[in-house]
Structure 1
């Protein structure tokens, strides 16, 4: 028996999953203590329930994820719509430093994955899939490179990559909050009373302003234009031989829209954009986690867990000993370390969810929410492509 959840039904289920996650976080103190995003709590519980249905009663639940993909585009569009050029300029030095750290992370992930694969007698290609391809790259990169690997003769490569990306998404949501919280408590960190903190407070107060129907309609129009125009840009670039992820072009269009609006002194409503971003993020995460096909991963569960644990160790080491230190060992550094765990194991939405869980408890971090989304959206995918091709050219891959 198969139950297919499609159309608006998936929104109903996702909202119920979010409500369940929020309830559990409130009722179980350790979830709040370790700053686990409620979308992760509810999403994992739902996927376990779906697994039980299939294992115990042979009832398979499948999800139509078209709306999930749309919410991902909306989320990145809100990042673009909130990216003012004068604000981007402030992230200069920190952005450069964390871009270098991102390269270090990608290389370390691939060394770990390939090393484990070769020690266990597997082809190094599986290790690359269990490195930066699936973890820093996420599902999209895992699918793309998994198909390439399958064509090259790696049996089940795409499925293995998707499984690693799925467990990475879970791990990124589970460890980011605890890592950031541990750094904050261990070093007694709190938001600094500086201009940035004052700006963060001003933005928090702005976000609490009343939102009118005109603001909602304007935001919906802007998001729709970002997605549609982003697709046009993608089609144009594809004709020139350059393929970019849809979320990246949607965000780029958002940056153009918001800065053009500012130039004509017709700024967009920031609180409405922020609320749209939060809604899109939570629905995307809930849909991603609740729709995980855990049953299909059971056959390779042992190998996947070994790879995941190795990558968790790599990401925590980089976050704690590199990200936290090179960014100043302050409160913003701890929040960025938390976000970096999401980037390294899951995706930018997981990084944002981790940082949101921390800042809702300890206070705002303007710098973290400026830099981490830019690393995740602009740089990590581009750097990852270069790093992957570098490793493929290594002698143990046959020089490509």
Structure 2
């Protein structure tokens, strides 16, 4: 058995290469772009397959990744910084109703995951990983919780499981969301309440693009703010871990990054400055997430997953059936069985199984064929990009506390 060790600089260069390869494959393979598979996932999975092939050729590669956690915290800090709680009052009852559906769905998602894991003789905590952690949470949340599973809950191969579940959910959410919304529109003969260009509303008020203001100074400010939140949240996490407060020992470090981002982002002078460099903050956060995922995936040991492949597939297929049934019978009806409700249903499948970009892709597929839905374009990204993460965190913490 030969061992190859890449130092921190070489590992960072490889992660950047993974992002570039993933972006090239995404732009050249229509199937990947059709289902909105993120480029870090494409390149990262390809690299993990290469390392698996080398492993079976008696060659092991070890990576030095000291920046991985910092990059993760920078991304989650951006989630907090992008939150504008003032928008809650503009959403009205529709926002509250959709948020209720999303929260209730997470509860059922985890009940199903935990129950099936127990029936399949797996650790019930794996049901959470094959539930809202990776499906409603996505790759970033799954990778973040994987460290808690490995280090504090002593469950091996958590990262491999998280990436497998999140990738399945991402693809499934894109494949089934659009057809479900289409079926609802056609079965109930629904039509938009207004006639206008649907693309006008595709940008959430939380995520305005200020590309025209992009410059080196703005990028430096964005990176410094994100890095400051990441470093401070890391120190806060370490201090709380050392304090011996049992109720907080299982709170992952990225939670403090989100909370710190919310607090800093709601300081009036900071909010004003962030609004002028929103484009740079989003780009810096996306690069941080991309590098984090690339580093996490290149360090996967896929060969450890083979024994869990069939049980995980059973759980994930059951989760897909739950998602379709819940959205069809509950979300659509709670939201009023209107055209907007059908578009919201398609979006709910997207981020309930995959991620917010998948949800927006589903919205675009429906509105591109049948007409605009400004309400859906406002509510889905607001709930999917921020509020669902907070609710998901609370639900996961509750389940872990109960199961442990």
Contact residue 319 and residue 338 of structure 1 kept, 8 A: no
Change (3 A) 1:83 1:60: same
Cα offset for 1:34?
2.9
CA distance change for structure 1 residues 248 and 388 in 2, over 3 Å: closer, same or farther?
closer
Counterpart CA distance in 2 for 1:353 and 1:68 is: 23
Once the two structures are superposed, what CA deviation does each residue of 1:256-302 show, in whole Å capped at 9, x if it has no partner?
A: 22210348854442111111122222222333333321122234444
Unaligned residue ranges in structure 1 (runs of 5+): 151-157, 343-350, 393-399
Of residues 369, 380, 387, the one that matches 2:399 is: 387
Deviations 1:320-349 (A, max 9, x none): 55455545534344233211213xxxxxxx
From 237, 257, 262, the equivalent of 2:264 is: 257
Q: CA deviation at 1:224?
A: 1.9
Measure, in 1, the Cα distance between the counterparts of 2:203 and 2:144.
36
Indicate whether 1:378 and 2:390 are aligned.
yes
Deviation string, structure 1 residues 123-170 (Cα, Å, up to 9, x no partner)? xxx2413311454333554554567776xxxxxxx1264543232122
Give me the whole-angstrom Cα distance separating, in 2, the residues matched to 1:320 and 1:286.
Answer: 35
Residue 379 of structure 2 is aligned to residue 367 of structure 1? yes
CA distance in 1: counterparts of 2:299 and 2:328, whole angstroms = 31
**1:339 lines up with 2:358 in the alignment:** no
Give the match for residue 95 of structure 1: 99
Question: Partners in 2 of 1:35 and 1:264 — Cα distance?
Answer: 31
Q: Which residue number corresponds to residue 275 of structure 1?
A: 283
Partner of 1:179: 176
- For the 8 Å contact 2:27–2:33, the answer to whether it is kept is yes
TM-score, length-scaled by structure 1: 0.77
Deviation at 1:76, TM superposition (A): 1.0
CA distance in structure 1 between the aligned counterparts of 2:271 and 2:317, rounded to whole angstroms: 51
Assess, with a 3 A threshold, how the Cα gap between structure 1 residues 67 and 179 changes in structure 2: closer, same or farther. farther
SS in 1 for 2:267: helix
Identify if the C-alpha distance between structure 1 residues 37 and 111 changes in structure 2 by more than 3 Å, giving closer, same or farther. Answer: same
Match of 1:348 in 2: none
Shift of residue 25, structure 1, vs aligned partner: 2.9
- Computed over aligned residues only, the root mean square deviation of the Cα atoms, in angstroms, reads 3.6
Q: Write the distance in 1 (CA, Å) between the matches of 2:200 and 2:89.
A: 19
Q: CA deviation at 1:97?
A: 3.2
Report how far residue 371 of structure 1 moved.
1.0
Q: Is the 8 A contact 2:349 2:359 kept in 1?
A: no
Indicate the SS of the match to 1:292. coil
Q: Distance in 1 between matches of 2:319 and 2:357?
A: 20
Deviates more, 1:11-20 or 1:236-245: 236-245
Correspondence 1:164 to 2:161 = yes
Give the match for residue 154 of structure 1: none
Q: 1:320 to 1:300 in 2, by over 3 A?
A: same
Q: Closer, same or farther in 2 for the Cα pair 1:266/1:283, shift >3 Å?
A: closer
Partner of residue 293 from structure 1, selected from 276, 289, 301: 301
Runs of 5+ consecutive residues of structure 2 not aligned to the other structure: 134-141, 369-373
User: Pairwise mapping of residues 8-157 of structure 1 onto structure 2 (< 5 A)?
Assistant: 8-55=9-56, 57-90=57-90, 93=96, 94-115=98-119, 117=120, 122=121, 126-133=122-129, 135-137=131-133, 138-139=142-143, 141=145, 144=148
Q: Structure 1's 252 and 146: CA in aligned 2 closer, same or farther, altered over 3 A?
A: closer
Q: How many residues align?
A: 368
Residues 11, 248 of structure 1: CA spacing in aligned structure 2 closer, same or farther, 3 A cutoff?
Answer: same
Q: Give the 3-state SS of the residue equivalent to 2:62 in structure 1.
A: strand
| Partner Cα separation in structure 2 for residue 290 and residue 27 of structure 1 | 22
Deviations 1:63-113 (A, max 9, x none): 334323222111111111111221244455033332222112211221222
1:186-197 → structure 2 map (5 Å cutoff): 186=183, 187=185
Deviation of 1:207 after TM superposition, in Å, equals 3.4
| Cα pair 1:51 1:293 within 8 Å, conserved | yes
